[in-house]
Chain A
Amino acid sequence: MGAVGDDIGDVSDYELTHHVRQALKAVLEGDTDEYDQLIGNMHHTERLVPDEVAMLVTILRALSGAVSFIDIVHHRSLLSSICAMRFWNYGPDVMDALMELVVTLATSNGKYVDLCLDMLVSNFIPPFNFLEILKQPRGLAKKDQVLARVHAALKGIADLVPLAPSRLEQIVRERVPNVFAKEAQIVVYVENMLMLESGDMGEFVGNSMIFELVNRLIDLDVEIGWDEVLLDDPNNKGIFLMELEDLARTDETEMDMDEPQIEYTGRKVLWGNVVAQKLDTLMELAFDHLQSCFKNGRLPQVFEALLQSFQSTVLNAYKSKFAQFVMFYACSLDPEDCGTQFVSKLLEIFKSTVYPQEWRMSAVAYLASYLSRAKFLSTSYVTIILESLVDWCYKYSKNQSGEINLKNHRVFYAACQALMYVLCFRMRSILATPRLKSQLVNMPLEKIFKHALNPLEVCLPSIVEEFLRQAKAAHLFTVSNGTFLFDHLFESELSRAFGGFQRLDVFFPFDPYLLKKSDRFIRPNFIYWSMVRTTYDDDEDDDDDDDDDDDVEDDNDDEFDMNLSKMSITPKDSFMFGNLQDRKMQMPSRIRPSTSPESL
């Protein structure tokens, strides 16, 4: 091969191919000299000089011509050399030659298809030492070069071997990095998956790529404990008091106080940060992808796969915090089509008699959170869905004669709580429109709440209170002499947990989004509690009360259940935002993701 290297200009392709074929054939007869030399020359990876590059290109091209002579048993070391080659280590010339070799090898014999697909998928991720440069311009340029060729090779194989995409699907799923891999690795792998989804093979592998994406998001999501994301405080307020926290402010004042909180070891908090960052980047990728799908008109098909994977993965994930926002964002892009599909699916699961109770409760919690938080939904649409919910509750209550029973009527209580939650957000705007107001007034809400099952005593106190307060201010449920029917329930101490061990009664899936980078996608479409005009609001301008934080003292924390700290909306320290009596809403402040005092 040394001689060939010198005379590269003089030797024709055919002669080179012939030479390689002879070398391969010789192995079967026991003569491995030429063969070993061949393999030896393929192992140069670091900083190749032009001569070495030319040599490598020649070898690869010659091998392409000789693939039919490669035997899976006798030429095992050659095959493993080829499969170990990384596109990332070479320049465009070698990459092209390698691409051709891999495609030719895969299509020459069915036995090599899996091998070659595996080799290409392993090239989704750059070698370890490359990870740092990935963010720099030259790293990005290299990534584009490599991935373009890898995907072109995959397409090339799929064209010639029609059943290749199904094998590819499997291999991609097997090789996906787990939550412990470096962020750069996970991110570039998911980028590849999305490239496959939107590429030519999209119609074959697209669905499983979407499923796998959602799986990754959930896996990362459940690794983040609430404790790590926000510095939690067991002395939490009711959910409607405060939602967001300007963590900069927390940090200043937190230094001074004597925290009754749990002490977080540096490692635990740091891990939560790391995972949250990974999730943040992946969510950004996912949102970007959905946006480009929408622009290309592909969102309906992608949404179908998304909805299915939501149902099988996200709906039942215990306390998933952010992954579900892919649904929120997709619906915000296309409320008429995707949004209505989402709502119908949730209603279907909720009303079905086949699915387990937890699913149904989860579905109605999603519905409530979605209807309350989505800025892009019209009030009339919300009213229609609300009507359907009320209808179900009413029919259910008519069929029951028993008393309060937490176990048997969990779904009913979940639905009542959902009703109240949505009305807390939307009551004022519904009452503002005469047509919708009459719809609301005609709903049999009173009968439901007066029923022996007594949802008002079972559901979450903070929601019940807020709801009753607004209802009273709006003169709902009043008899002719002006008294409010449910006066006795204000300030009641009842707090029954009907949500089971999963605490589905405090599950509000679309609570404010807390990941920094990807927040920009969600924020414009999101209704924060402080933006809501309640029925008891005086007509004043919204105030920017960010400065009140430091002055007020804390009291009344003890009456609240410790469990509330596990809620999806994790309010901040009470002393920051005013005491229980003062229910002024704060303007939403800028959110920052998981940080610990150390990292700031």
Chain B
Amino acid sequence: MEGLKVSESDLLVYLHPSKSKNVSQAIYNELSSMLFKYNETFDGVLLAYSASTNDELAKILPGLHPCFGVRLKAQLLLFHPKPNMILEGKVVKLGAQSIHIVVLGFSSATIIDEDIREEFDYKVKHGKELFASSVNKRHKIEIETVVRFVVKSFDEETLHLSGSLLQPNTGNVNWLDKYAEEDLVESNTKKRRDYQTADHSKLTTDDDRVKKSKKHKSSHS
């Protein structure tokens, strides 16, 4: 999944003098207050951090409250989705007009029906709502499915994504990883058989075709 990165950073945290008794606790409190919020400096949403100080000394700022600045080295796990990135998330709600997904357990994403490709039809089967592909029968999107989608936009304030399932490499992750290859081959096999019935003389070139389609596939992925 794209959109996650680990940043090595040098930080400077200013602490109030009352915190000087337990500096590490104060540092963790400061950093924790920034979790799950978008930070411009980091260019992303802070998900996790690991920080350490090298220096035992800290400079005291002059002023009304003599805060002191502690230098840190930190590794920051950041979430920074940009348009056209591919993300994965779990479906929590399906409707005829939209699919609602939760990414990484905290970010909500919505895909509206205009951004779902034609092959997917909304159906209700056995009381369950789902989007089923008309082309590949086994490709289904239901509640609890993990779905791969393309990011259209990301609202930094509310951490809300809007996504799209228009591209062919999007959809149910399980299906994409398992069956995509097979189905591709199968659909080509089907084409070959049709071709065969039309022209018996081309029988011997089957293997060549298979090899060719495989090569073709590998050049695309």
B102 smallest CB distance to A (angstroms): 6
- Contact between B97 and A110, CB atoms less than 8 A apart: no
Give Cα A355 to B154, complex, Å: 47
A68 contacts chain B at the CB level, 8 A cutoff: yes
Q: Which residues of B contact A107 (CB under 8 A)?
A: 93, 98, 100, 108, 110
Contact with B along A154-197 (1 / 0, CB 8 A): 00000111110000000000000000000000000000000000
Interface size on A, residues (CB 8 A): 19
B159 smallest CB distance to A (angstroms): 6
Q: Which residues of A contact B95 (CB under 8 A)?
A: 104
Give Cα A54 to B170, complex, Å: 40
- Contact between B97 and A68, CB atoms less than 8 A apart: yes
A9 smallest CB distance to B (angstroms): 20
Determine which of B96, B102, B106, B155 lies in contact with A65 in the assembled complex, contact meaning CB atoms within 8 Å: B96
Give Cα A108 to B100, complex, Å: 8
Q: Which residues of B contact A162 (CB under 8 A)?
A: 102, 105-108
- Contact between B92 and A160, CB atoms less than 8 A apart: yes
CB-based nearest B residue for A160: B100
Determine which of A66, A109, A114, A159 lies in contact with B162 in the assembled complex, contact meaning CB atoms within 8 Å: A109
Determine which of A67, A104, A110, A160 lies in contact with B159 in the assembled complex, contact meaning CB atoms within 8 Å: A110
Give Cα A123 to B102, complex, Å: 27
Q: Which residues of A contact B100 (CB under 8 A)?
A: 107, 160
CB-based nearest B residue for A65: B97
Determine which of A67, A160, A163 lies in contact with B106 in the assembled complex, contact meaning CB atoms within 8 Å: A163
A135 contacts chain B at the CB level, 8 A cutoff: no
Determine which of A65, A66, A110, A159 lies in contact with B92 in the assembled complex, contact meaning CB atoms within 8 Å: A159
Q: Which residues of A contact B112 (CB under 8 A)?
A: 68, 108
A64 smallest CB distance to B (angstroms): 8
B7 contacts chain A at the CB level, 8 A cutoff: no
Give Cα A114 to B157, complex, Å: 11
Q: Which residues of A contact B49 (CB under 8 A)?
A: none
Give Cα A111 to B92, complex, Å: 20
- Contact between B159 and A109, CB atoms less than 8 A apart: no
Assuming the contacts A68-B98, A68-B112, asked whether A110 and B158 have C-beta atoms less than 8 A apart, the reply is yes
Range of interface residues on chain B?
A: 20 to 34
Give Cα A330 to B108, complex, Å: 39
Contact with B along A62-89 (1 / 0, CB 8 A): 0011111000000000000000000000
CB-based nearest B residue for A354: B21
- Contact between A160 and B155, CB atoms less than 8 A apart: no
A141 smallest CB distance to B (angstroms): 30
- Contact between B36 and A110, CB atoms less than 8 A apart: no
Determine which of B92, B105, B160 lies in contact with A109 in the assembled complex, contact meaning CB atoms within 8 Å: B160
Contact with A along B100-118 (1 / 0, CB 8 A): 1010011110101110000
A113 contacts chain B at the CB level, 8 A cutoff: yes
Q: Which residues of B contact A17 (CB under 8 A)?
A: 97
Q: Which residues of B contact A163 (CB under 8 A)?
A: 36, 106-108, 158-159
B171 smallest CB distance to A (angstroms): 20
- Contact between B108 and A161, CB atoms less than 8 A apart: yes
Query: Which residues of A from 262 to 310 have beta carbons under 8 Å from B?
Result: none
CB-based nearest A residue for B92: A160
- Contact between A111 and B158, CB atoms less than 8 A apart: yes
Q: Which residues of A contact B96 (CB under 8 A)?
A: 65
A109 smallest CB distance to B (angstroms): 7
Assuming the contacts A161-B160, A163-B36, asked whether A109 and B110 have C-beta atoms less than 8 A apart, the reply is yes
B93 smallest CB distance to A (angstroms): 6
Give Cα A68 to B114, complex, Å: 9
Give Cα A65 to B97, complex, Å: 6
A473 smallest CB distance to B (angstroms): 50
A85 smallest CB distance to B (angstroms): 21
- Contact between B158 and A108, CB atoms less than 8 A apart: no
CB-based nearest A residue for B104: A162
Give Cα A161 to B96, complex, Å: 19
- Contact between A113 and B158, CB atoms less than 8 A apart: yes
Q: Which residues of B contact A160 (CB under 8 A)?
A: 92-93, 100, 102, 108
- Contact between B155 and A109, CB atoms less than 8 A apart: yes
Q: Which residues of A contact B106 (CB under 8 A)?
A: 162-163
B113 smallest CB distance to A (angstroms): 8
Give Cα A109 to B159, complex, Å: 10
A226 smallest CB distance to B (angstroms): 36
Give Cα A466 to B97, complex, Å: 78
Q: Which residues of B contact A113 (CB under 8 A)?
A: 158, 160
Contact with B along A105-137 (1 / 0, CB 8 A): 001111101100000000000000000000000
CB-based nearest B residue for A14: B96
Query: Which residues of A from 369 to 399 have beta carbons under 8 Å from B?
Result: none
Q: Which residues of A contact B108 (CB under 8 A)?
A: 107, 110, 160-163
CB-based nearest A residue for B95: A104
Most buried by B among A17, A65, A107: A107
CB-based nearest A residue for B108: A161
B6 smallest CB distance to A (angstroms): 22
Give Cα A67 to B98, complex, Å: 10
Most buried by B among A111, A159, A162: A162
Give Cα A162 to B106, complex, Å: 5
Closest 6 CB pairs of A and B: A110-B160, A110-B158, A110-B155, A68-B112, A161-B108, A160-B100
Which A residues contact B (CB, under 8 angstroms)? 17, 64-68, 104, 107-111, 113-114, 159-163
Interchain Cβ contacts under 8 Å between A and B, 17 examples: A64-B97, A65-B96, A65-B97, A67-B97, A68-B114, A107-B100, A108-B98, A109-B110, A109-B155, A111-B155, A113-B160, A159-B93, A160-B92, A160-B108, A161-B160, A162-B102, A162-B108
Which B residues contact A (CB, under 8 angstroms)? 36, 92-93, 95-98, 100, 102, 105-108, 110, 112-114, 155, 157-160, 162
